C-alpha cells in the first residue's frame, strides 16, 4: 500500500497541493482524477519522487520515501514501474530492447533468461510479433503496451500510469484499461493511474481519489461515485450529457440493471 | 541579476558534472555506449573535418603566398606560415568552433528531445543515474576521439596546401615542403592537442547540460541547441586565450 500524508507542494510561491492525504491499496486499480491543472500530476510526481514536497510523508508499505537515503531510493526504484503519458520509449532501442532495458540494468539474469522474461512480458501485452520494430514504427496504442511490458519487466510492486489513455481511440483505451486492471490483480500490484478519462473512472476505478484545486476533494470507488453529492466531483465526472444520463439511469435502476 | 544568474548556472553545471562523473551502474554498458558515441560524434565527423581542412589548408596557402610575395621574404615561408597557422590555431580552436556547431547541436537536441519526451524521467524512475548514463559516454568519447580529428585536420590541411603548390604556379612543391619542415617546433603539435582536449570537454559537457535541462517542447529543444552552440563557442574562445597564455609563454 502507498499512503500520502499531508503532502504540500509549491512552485514559485504558488501552492499546487494543499495538505493532501490519500491511501492507494495493493491489488487494486487506484485512480487519481481531477481537472487539468488540479494538481493530480504533481501528486503523482511527488509520490514517485520526480518532485519533492515541502511538507508531508510518502509511505511505501510504511517506508517514508522522503526520508530514504540515495541507496534506499535506488533499491525502491527497482520495485517501481511507470507508464508515461507519451510512453517514453527509448527511440534508439527496438521494442525488445526497451523491455529488456531494466533487466539489463538491474537484474542478475543471464542473457537467455532476460530474453525469455522480455518475451514473456511482450506476450502478456500481445505484442510478441513486434519485438524487432522500433518505437517510431508502431502505433500509439502499441507503444503504450510496450511501455506496460517494460514497466512490469522487473516484477514491480508499484505501478504508476500517467494518463495512459491520452491520444488513444476509445477502443484502444478500453484495451489498455483492461490490461492494467488484469495485471494489477494478476501480480497483486499497487497500481496508481492518473487520468481524466471518465470511461476509465467508471470502468476500472476501484479506489478513486479526486483532486480539486490542489485539495483532496473526494475518495471512493466507481459505485459510490454515482451517488456522491460532491458538487465539484459531479461537475467534473458527469460534465457531458451522456454521462449525466448514465448516472440518472444507474441511480434509478441500479448498477446491475440491464440497459434499455 | 545577470551575474547572480551566471553563478547559479555555473553551480548547476558543477552539480551536473558531479552527477556525470560517478561510477557507472554497469561498466559494460557504459563502455558500449562510449564506443557507440565515438562512432556517432567522432567517426561521423571525419568527413566534415576532411572537407573543411582541405579547403582551408588550400586557402591559407594561397593567402600566405599573396601576403608574403616580397623579394625579402624567402618563398618557403609560405609553407612555414601555413604549417604554424594550422598547428597553432586552425586544427584546434577553429576546428572546435566548427564542431561546436555540428556535435554540440547534435548532443543538445538528442538529450533535449529525450527530456521533453520523458525518456530521461523514465530512466530516473527506474533508478538509473540519467546524467551518468547519457552524458558521461558522450564526454569521454568526444575527448578521447578529438586528438584523432585534430590529426586528420592537420594532415588534410597540409594536403590542401600541397595541392595548391602542385596545381598552381604560386609556389613550387619543393619550397612548400621545405617550408613545412623548416624551424619545426614539436611543442606546437602538443599545444594544439592539449587545447583540443579542453575544447572537446567544453563542447560535449555544455551541450549535454543545455539539453538535459530543457523545459517545454520542440521549440525549447531548438533554443537549447542554439544556446549550447553559442555558449560553448564563447567558452572555447575564452579558454583559447587562457590556454595560449599558459602554454605558449
Q: Which secondary structure element, helix H or strand E, spans residue B13, and what is its range?
A: helix B2-20
pLDDT in tens, A14-66: 999 999 999 999 999 999 999 888 899 899 999 999 899 999 999 999 999 99
Which residue is closest to B121 within chain A, CA to CA?
A50
Whether B142 maps to a domain, the answer reads yes
**B157 contact partners, CB below 8 Å, separation of at least 6:** B53, B54, B56, B57, B60, B82, B86, B90, B91
User: What CA–CA distance (Å, rounded) separates B177 from B189?
Assistant: 18
Whether B168 maps to a domain, the answer reads yes
Q: Do A105 and B29 touch (CB under 8 A)?
A: yes
Q: Which chain A residues are within 8 Å of B25, Cβ to Cβ?
A: 105-106
Q: Which residues of B touch A (CB under 8 A)?
A: 25-26, 29, 117-119, 121-122, 124-128
Q: Do A73 and B26 touch (CB under 8 A)?
A: no
* Residue found under cell 510518502: A58
pLDDT at B212: 97
Q: Are B25 and B133 in contact (CB under 8 A)?
A: yes
Grid coordinates given for A155:
516484477
Which residue is closest to B134 within chain A, CA to CA?
A90
* Residue found under cell 495538505: A19
User: What CA–CA distance (Å, rounded) separates B62 from A187?
Assistant: 74
- Selected residue of A105, A150, A153, A154 to mutate for chain B interface (largest B Cβ count, 10 A): A105
CA distance, residue A255 to nearest chain B CA (Å): 39
Q: Do A88 and B124 touch (CB under 8 A)?
A: no
Q: Do B126 and A50 touch (CB under 8 A)?
A: no
Q: Are A50 and A84 in contact (CB under 8 A)?
A: no
- Percent of chain A, pLDDT > 90? 63
Q: Which chain A residues are within 8 Å of B131, Cβ to Cβ?
A: none
Whether B7 maps to a domain, the answer reads no
Q: Delineate the domains of chain A, giving CATH numbers in brackets.
A: 1-79+157-221 (3.40.50.300), 93-155 (no CATH)
pLDDT in tens, A166-176: 888 888 888 88
CA distance, residue A243 to nearest chain B CA (Å): 33
Q: Which secondary structure element, helix H or strand E, spans residue A162, and what is its range?
A: strand A158-162
List alpha helices for A107-157, DSSP H.
111-124, 140-152
Whether B14 maps to a domain, the answer reads no
Residues of chain B with pLDDT under 70: none
Phi, psi (degrees; rounded to nearest 5) at A87 = 70, -40
Could you tell me the pLDDT band of residue A255, with boundaries at 50, 70 and 90? low
Whether B97 maps to a domain, the answer reads yes
pLDDT in tens, A203-240: 899 999 999 999 998 999 888 888 788 888 888 888 77
Whether B70 maps to a domain, the answer reads yes
Above 80 in pLDDT, residue A252?
no
Whether B38 maps to a domain, the answer reads yes
DSSP 8-state assignment for residue A125: T
pLDDT at A260: 43
Q: Which domain holds residue B116?
A: 25-248
- Selected residue of A52, A81, A84 to mutate for chain B interface (largest B Cβ count, 10 A): A84
Crossing angle (nearest 10°) for helices A140-152 and A170-187: 10
CA distance, residue B187 to nearest chain A CA (Å): 42
pLDDT at A223: 83
Above 90 in pLDDT, residue A197?
no
pLDDT in tens, B88-100: 999 999 999 999 9
Residue A224's Cα: distance from chain center in Å? 21
User: What CA–CA distance (Å, rounded) separates A163 from A147?
Assistant: 13
CA distance, residue A83 to nearest chain B CA (Å): 8
pLDDT at A17: 94
Count of CB contacts below 8 A, A vs B? 46
As a whole number, mean pLDDT of residues A105-130 equals 92
Interface of A with B in 136-165 (CB under 8 A): 160
DSSP 8-state assignment for residue A61: T
Whether B17 maps to a domain, the answer reads no
Where residue A134 falls (left for φ over 0; alpha for ψ -120 to 50; beta otherwise) is beta
Q: Specify the number of domains making up chain B.
A: 1
CA distance, residue A80 to nearest chain B CA (Å): 7
Q: How high does pLDDT run on average in chain A?
A: 89
Amino acid at each position: 500500500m502507498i499512503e500520502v500524508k499531508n503532502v504540500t507542494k509549491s512552485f514559485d510561491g504558488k501552492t499546487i497541493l494543499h495538505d493532501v492525504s490519500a491511501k492507494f491499496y495493493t491489488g487494486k486499480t487506484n485512480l487519481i482524477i481531477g481537472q487539468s491543472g488540479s494538481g493530480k500530476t504533481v501528486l503523482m510526481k511527488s509520490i514517485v519522487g520526480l518532485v519533492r514536497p515541502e511538507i508531508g510523508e510518502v509511505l511505501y508499505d510504511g517506508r517514508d520515501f522522503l526520508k530514504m537515503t540515495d541507496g534506499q531510493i535506488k533499491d525502491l526504484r527497482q520495485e517501481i514501474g511507470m507508464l508515461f503519458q507519451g510512453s517514453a520509449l527509448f527511440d534508439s532501442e527496438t521494442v525488445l530492447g526497451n523491455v529488456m532495458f531494466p533487466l539489463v540494468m538491474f537484474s542478475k539474469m543471464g542473457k537467455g533468461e532476460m530474453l525469455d522474461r522480455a518475451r514473456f512480458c511482450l506476450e502478456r501485452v500481445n505484442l510478441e510479433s513486434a519485438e524487432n520494430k522500433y518505437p517510431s514504427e508502431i502505433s500509439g496504442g502499441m507503444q503504450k503496451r510496450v511501455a506496460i511490458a517494460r514497466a512490469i519487466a522487473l516484477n514491480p510492486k508499484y505501478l504508476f500510469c500517467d494518463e495512459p489513455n491520452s491520444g488513444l481511440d476509445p477502443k484502444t483505451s478500453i484495451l489498455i484499461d483492461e490490461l492494467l486492471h488484469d495485471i494489477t490483480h494478476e501480480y497483486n500490484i499497487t497500481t496508481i493511474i492518473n487520468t481524466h478519462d471518465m470511461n476509465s473512472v467508471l470502468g476500472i476505478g476501484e479506489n478513486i481519489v479526486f483532486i480539486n484545486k490542489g485539495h483532496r476533494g473526494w475518495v471512493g470507488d466507481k459505485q459510490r461515485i454515482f451517488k456522491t453529492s460532491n458538487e465539484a466531483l459531479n461537475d467534473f465526472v458527469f460534465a457531458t450529457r451522456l454521462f449525466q444520463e448514465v448516472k440518472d439511469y444507474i441511480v434509478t435502476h441500479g448498477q446491475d440493471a440491464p440497459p434499455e | 541579476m545577470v551575474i547572480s544568474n551566471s553563478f547559479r548556472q555555473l553551480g548547476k553545471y558543477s552539480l551536473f558534472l558531479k552527477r556525470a562523473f560517478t561510477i557507472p551502474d554497469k561498466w559494460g554498458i557504459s563502455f558500449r555506449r562510449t564506443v557507440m558515441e565515438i562512432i556517432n560524434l567522432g567517426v561521423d565527423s571525419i568527413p566534415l573535418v576532411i572537407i573543411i581542412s582541405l579547403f582551408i589548408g588550400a586557402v591559407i596557402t594561397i593567402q600566405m603566398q599573396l601576403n608574403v610575395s616580397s623579394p625579402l621574404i624567402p618563398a618557403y615561408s609560405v609553407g612555414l606560415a601555413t604549417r604554424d597557422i594550422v598547428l597553432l590555431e586552425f586544427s584546434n580552436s577553429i576546428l572546435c568552433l566548427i564542431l561546436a556547431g555540428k556535435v554540440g547541436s547534435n548532443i543538445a537536441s538528442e538529450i533535449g528531445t529525450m527530456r521533453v519526451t520523458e525518456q530521461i524521467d523514465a530512466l530516473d524512475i527506474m533508478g538509473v543515474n540519467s546524467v551518468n548514463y547519457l552524458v558521461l559516454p558522450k564526454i569521454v568519447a568526444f575527448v578521447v576521439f578529438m586528438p584523432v580529428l585534430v590529426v586528420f585536420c592537420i594532415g588534410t590541411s597540409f594536403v590542401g596546401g600541397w595541392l595548391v603548390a602542385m596545381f598552381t604556379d604560386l609556389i613550387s612543391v619543393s619550397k612548400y615542403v621545405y617550408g613545412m619542415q623548416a624551424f619545426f617546433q614539436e611543442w606546437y603539435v602538443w599545444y594544439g592537442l592539449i587545447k583540443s582536449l579542453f575544447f572537446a570537454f567544453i563542447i560535449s559537457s555544455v551541450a549535454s547540460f543545455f539539453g538535459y535541462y530543457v523545459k517545454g517542447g520542440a521549440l525549447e529543444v531548438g533554443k537549447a541547441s542554439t544556446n549550447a552552440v553559442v555558449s560553448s563557442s564563447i567558452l572555447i574562445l575564452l579558454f583559447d586565450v587562457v590556454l595560449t597564455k599558459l602554454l605558449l609563454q
